[in-house]
Amino acid sequence: MQSLERPSQGIGSEAVGRPTEPPPDRLIAVAAGLEVEAEVHDGVLKEPPVLEIDRFNLWYGAKQALHRIAMPIPLNKVTALVGPSGCGKSTLLRSVNRLNDLVQSVRITGDMRLNGDSIYDPRMDVIELRKRMGMVFQKPNPFPMSIYENVVYALRIDGETSRGVLDEVCEMSLRGAALWDEVKDRLQDSALGLSGGQQQRLCIARAIAAEPEVLLLDEPCSALDPIATGKVEDLIQELRGRYSVLIVTHNMQQASRSSDYTAFMYLGRLIEYGATPDIFTKPVLRETEAYVTGRFG
């Protein structure tokens, strides 16, 4: 008989409760509420950072979701955040552009710096801050307007009305998002008529239209079929070197294929962070190895 119990990507604590193999000590320590030191490779620290996360803590009400996260995000590289569900990857990503401000019960300590500017400085205008970043969400969320207007949305809200500028940005962004050839003849059609994969690439075009300093991708392929996923991954490859990308993903292959650096998070802590080949082939911690090889999580 075959066991029905396969390691599934369930809730983190559940994975600890029923491991197929004895869990590494560090993860037990984390689950017990102890603080553990993150293992950050030297290679990461040598890169010039675009974003520095500095001892960042975050609480939802009384529950702490992020514990003293400290990590630099390298400039013009793709950095992947991996870890089991509920480990705080998305929360961390949403903290970068302060989308968590919209949740009433959120409280934070610590800080992040975008090219040296404190993100959580009370004098920082959150709207100006978000204009310096682009974000793509799990589910494609095109706006209820034309493809054209979707792409130039960020410019529109800044009051840009010059047709020439808008047209140019629209084409550049759609080309950048590898969507131009598919939609160039129907720019005035509703964006809602596109397929899921096209919608997600449209969202990427929208995110890069305003030349962001950081591009935040929150599991951009989780709602897409394999073919659409492949296209978006190719796109991420093309963005490599031109944009600083911070991507949250569940998919180990995706992280290993498309990122330069990988950070492994667990229950709100950063566990190990280093160059992607190192993390996937010779991680320092055996906990990381256990996760990236699919033995738990």
Binding status of residue 169 toward other proteins by CB under 8 A: no
- The answer to whether 142 and 202 have CB atoms below 8 angstroms apart is yes
Give me the 65-104 binding string for other proteins, x by CB under 8 A, dash otherwise.
Answer: --------------------------------x-x--x-x
Please choose, from the candidates 209, 98, 199, 195, the residue with its C-alpha nearest in 3D space to the C-alpha of residue 153. 209
Smallest separation (angstroms) from other proteins to the CB of 29: 35
Q: How far is the CB of 195 from other proteins (least distance, A)?
A: 7
The one-letter code for the residue type at 198 is: Q
134 near other proteins, judged by CB under 8 A: yes
Distance, in Å, from the CA atom of 99 to the CA atom of 57, rounded to the nearest integer, reads 15
Q: Which 170-189 positions form the footprint of other proteins (CB under 8 A)?
A: none
Residue 152 and residue 166 in contact, taking contact as beta carbons nearer than 8 Å: yes
Closer of 191 and 255 to other proteins (Cβ): 191
| For the chain, counts of helices (H) and of strands (E) | 14, 11
157 binds other proteins (CB under 8 A): yes
Q: In what order do the strands lie in the sheet with 49-60?
A: 63-74, 49-60, 106-114, 117-118
CB-wise, 156 or 242, nearer to other proteins? 156
State yes or no: residue 141 binds other proteins (CB under 8 A).
yes
80-98 as b/e: b if 16+ CB within 10 A: bbbbbebbbbbbbbbbbbb
User: CA-to-CA distance for 225 and 238, rounded, in angstroms?
Assistant: 20
Rounded Cα distance between 74 and 245, Å, is: 9
List 127, 163, 185, 226, residue binding other proteins (CB under 8 A): 127
CB of 127 to other proteins, least distance (A): 5
Nearer to other proteins, 129 or 275 (CB): 129
Closer residue to other proteins (CB): 2 or 104: 104
Interface residue list for other proteins (CB under 8 A):
97, 99, 102, 104, 127-128, 130-131, 133-135, 137, 139-141, 143-145, 153-154, 156-158, 190, 192-196, 199, 203, 206-207, 210, 216
